[in-house]
Amino acid sequence: MSDSAPVLTIDGPGGAGKGTISRLVAERLGWHLLDSGALYRLTALAAVKHEVPLDDEATLAEVARDLDVVFVAEEDATIVLLEGQDATTTIRTEQVGDAASRVAALPAVRQALLQRQRDFHQAPGLVADGRDMGTVVFTDAPLKIFLTASADERAHRRQRQLQEAGVDASLSSLLKEIQARDARDTQRSVAPLKPADDAITLDTTRLTIPEVVDRLTELLTERGLAPAT
């Protein structure tokens, strides 16, 4: 770990664009990327695979600590291997996302994954994508962003993603799932989803992905955390 390496935290609800934007900013700057949500999704997927109930907190914490995970960076994406098998697509399903939201509400699971997330902090810098990156995991980060968008817009985005993958999805069902997940994430007792006190909130409802990426790199440059690109 390099304490001098800058950290950009990007928190926010599902569908706000955190994953794509974090990856593009990291690629532009040549920084490391932490997709913390993937770790919770992988924990949930491993639990289902090994028939661990999603309310068995102690066993789920063991699953989180012992995750056999490898992230393989490729040109346009990151391949995720769970126990040697490609889980890249599986962890992005609505079912796994819902299970991950339940698992993430458990304090013992969050504690088990905390150091694993902090170990991603290495030179030349880190873009950390999640829901509590700025409030819990990297509280001293010099730049914290809270990305948001309306629930309707996030439901439309998710529907478009699924349609592009050849999956039919009801917009009303997706909206209900997003609203339910938002409620769980914001109301959980440990590390609830909320902007850090010193975070900049950016609503992406009417912004394009390139516009958001440009804005974040501009903020990093203005603060002397990254060279002009």
The annotation places the binding site at 12-20
Q: Assign 148 to helix, strand or coil.
A: strand
SS3 34: strand
d(CA 54, CA 48): 8
Six-digit token pair at 185? 């994430």
CB 43 within 8 A of CB 52: no
Alpha-carbon span 3 to 220, nearest angstrom = 17
Query: Would you say how long the chain is, in residues?
Result: 229
Q: Before 53, cis peptide (omega within 30)?
A: no
The amino acid that residue 84 corresponds to is: G
Supply the angle between the helices 151-164 and 171-187 in degrees, to the nearest 10: 120
Residue set of the binding site for ATP: 12-20
Neighbours of 212 (CB within 10 A): 22
Both tokens of residue 138? 């990297």
